[in-house]
Structure 1
């Protein structure tokens, strides 16, 4: 019998679900827009077995992919495991074999050298495949219709790095997927790869370079000419792993860098520009773009670390107030002869994370952004525990052209998961469409799927789709039009 620890990561709303299911025509309120035809895929960490070491962090759960197929005014639900090598080996053994988050020293001897991916961070559609992603390993491919696992993607051996990002970008000018991989040369190495994948799934470029130091490089931006990579000191080392410490820890004494990696073949370390600024925390990226010689990079910046489970390396206690991130623009100038930032501009005083844009405009200046907001001035009743640490209780839309801000609050006993933009039509203007996102109903341990008019979120969801099971807190997800993946009604 599986006995999960009675700790916050495994109890209340965070209790492991472990449910594979098919449910046709979910009950809903409101009107599902008749023009929506496609699928929203998202992923949640969901441990198959109790942790090998007795407790664990939420980020180490096995990947469970959810698909909401929206068509003809209805929503069909399918949920399947991402059956990584880790999942398969543990499933055969009947118990956990892999230990702490990104620490192979804690694994059972019989799985030494195996790919440790949980495929639990992003669910992404590209080249007719569903990519289940974890940034410490290659991406896992799945069939987007059956959702059966196909295997790890190494591009026929053309990919020589060990890792592939969980936050790829699509350059809609050429259809390429732009990606990177950190610790590409091995555990805790400062080796990074920049990659581009053609629309047919062929790896057409892999460029190796060195980062200023090893750290978590969870996200990045692209422009027409550059991969734009921020280096923030959530650092790790073999020594930390040997001591049994969390893989990452935050170092407030180290500088932050913004790197410009040219998007072309033959790039060397000498071709890369690294701009330097004072310490801060930043994880997810809204967008990046070029204006003349200047590069604009928009992220959610906090004064200090947002991840209490990756503690301060100097022993300072976690500071929730300093962890509140706000939309911020970083500007650097390629014509400059020094490495300093040109500007750091606060774009909103709203505390927000999980930023999203209309992805058709990635790499170009965008007007609209959607975020999960942390509004601690509103009533909060965390029955069953918070679904993901910091309470994300509002959907937030920012019009960067007019400055207008709008909000929608999910109520005192609910919390929200990452929003995803769905264009109204392939040629619709930027931002014209819908927002889809999961909502955690903490009071009765279940979930809803919410659909909003993207430019009028304050009026609330146009449709609320009731899911008769509980979705654990998910990380990232994406939309795919039904005709691009062969998914029909």
Structure 2
């Protein structure tokens, strides 16, 4: 292995008991470049592009109670071309990260830190007053990486191959960008949303293939809410107002505490991609909370959308964990939340909503072939969560046409993340490609990148590429085709 340590940051973390500061979630401080890594198997020569995963990776001791979603963003990138691979990782140098590096300590309290107060309230903050860590999501749009924060912060752009920082996204609205903007590979457009505690409470926008903001409208929901994701079809974008919202009396004290109201329906705003507020069609569905949607597509008068329905969005604390962590662990446990693959059908002519479960297994963090985004598709690749932990111990492939499914387990004490689909060069079908994921192996305190044949995931990895260090578990990942990046950057 040829690995170069680029920089090592000094950590001030002393908490060695927190379940999300230890084990597979233990943060790291080093940034590496690596080539000629040890490979078990053979790297395919029929893929070209980059796999990127965002992770929550705090450098400094938290102010008050720590929530893993507040950790500093760190990107891990593996580039593939001609049967070779190159790895890099870098912290996302947000304004908050830079300020805390200069101060040598945490300056902002996190989501669940109350009553502890931030030392610099209002500076470098997301719309909800937290440090904008840009640690939640990552996409590639117009040839550059864009990272975002789940509580609506600034968008940060990075070079897709070097991970050099290119600054704050110039078109970022005053109310920020939520995690999970959606890129339509067919048009190069990117749809996004944000949400705030002041009217109109939500906005939706479209950025074109040249990275210019072309459309931005209010979505008039009933009050402060906390959507996490959106979906799109060829002609429509789908926003949501689910019955999980900030408690108004707590908001008045600057405390962002959610409450679930099972008496209220889920509401869905269907808007033409460049539509106006008066064009929105609202649909209602069963009460739930949804972290992540999959795909949406049009079929006659129906708009069909898939995602992960939660049967128990506000679970009781877990009894087998210390009391100080029991509520946190339950809210991060997808088994407690009872997340399962689900389908919504919105009839654009009658206004009717029809729902059905597609499986009763607890799954989340699904991926699919992005060439089929907004179109009818067949295959879904979901992450299989470990019970009582925000960790993923396997993958499940669903064939939505036949109902068949395959399962791959990573192995005892081996944890991955959502696994983007990597199309083969000149692919012949929807599942003609690979799944890619970083795996953290707590048996050996190491990490690796695995490629899995998407047509037969049960066969296991076709190759394992050993990283120069153990990387922490994280949230979201993406794949971007190399030719698309080169074309975007040449134009």
Length-normalised TM-score, structure 1: 0.87
Query: 2:128 — aligned with what?
Result: none
Number of aligned residue pairs: 462
Q: What runs of 5+ residues in structure 2 fail to find an aligned partner?
A: 1-10, 126-130, 319-323
Q: Map 1:424-443; keep pairs closer than 5 Å.
A: 424-425=424-425, 428-443=428-443
Query: 1:13 — aligned with what?
Result: 24
Using the TM superposition, give the Cα deviation of residue 450 of structure 1 relative to its aligned residue in structure 2, in angstroms: 1.1
Query: Separation in 1 of the partners of 2:291 and 2:301?
Result: 25
Query: 2:156 — aligned with what?
Result: 140
Kindly indicate whether residue 317 of structure 2 is the aligned counterpart of residue 302 of structure 1: no
Deviation readout 1:160-194 (Å, 9 max, x if unpaired): 441213212222342211212222xxx46552221
Distance 1:483 1:320, change over 3 A: closer
Query: Separation in 2 of the partners of 1:460 and 1:409?
Result: 9
Query: 2:177 — aligned with what?
Result: 164
Q: What runs of 5+ residues in structure 1 fail to find an aligned partner?
A: 377-385
Larger CA deviation: 90-99 vs 216-225: 216-225
Query: Separation in 2 of the partners of 1:221 and 1:463?
Result: 32
Checking the alignment, whether the CA contact within 8 Å between 2:186 and 2:371 is kept in structure 1 is: no
Checking the alignment, whether the CA contact within 8 Å between 1:4 and 1:51 is kept in structure 2 is: no
SS of equivalent to 1:217: coil
Deviation readout 1:81-125 (Å, 9 max, x if unpaired): 100010011111110001122989955454534333111012211
Query: Separation in 2 of the partners of 1:75 and 1:484?
Result: 18
Match 2:381 to one of 370, 375, 379: 370
Query: Separation in 1 of the partners of 2:391 and 2:13?
Result: 27
Larger CA deviation: 111-120 vs 242-251: 242-251
Distance 1:142 1:103, change over 3 A: farther
Supply the RMSD in Å over aligned alpha carbons: 2.9
Kindly indicate whether residue 296 of structure 2 is the aligned counterpart of residue 288 of structure 1: yes
Kindly indicate whether residue 358 of structure 2 is the aligned counterpart of residue 347 of structure 1: yes
Match 1:73 to one of 67, 70, 83: 83
Larger CA deviation: 66-75 vs 398-407: 66-75
Deviation readout 1:410-433 (Å, 9 max, x if unpaired): 122222211110111266422211
Query: 2:216 — aligned with what?
Result: 206
Kindly indicate whether residue 437 of structure 2 is the aligned counterpart of residue 460 of structure 1: no
Distance 1:442 1:36, change over 3 A: same
Match 1:124 to one of 125, 139, 157: 139
Distance 1:173 1:468, change over 3 A: closer
Larger CA deviation: 344-353 vs 302-311: 302-311
Query: Separation in 2 of the partners of 1:42 and 1:253?
Result: 37
Length-normalised TM-score, structure 2: 0.86
Distance 1:40 1:248, change over 3 A: same
Query: Separation in 1 of the partners of 2:301 and 2:317?
Result: 39
Query: 1:381 — aligned with what?
Result: none
Match 1:179 to one of 192, 203, 225: 192
Using the TM superposition, give the Cα deviation of residue 228 of structure 1 relative to its aligned residue in structure 2, in angstroms: 0.9
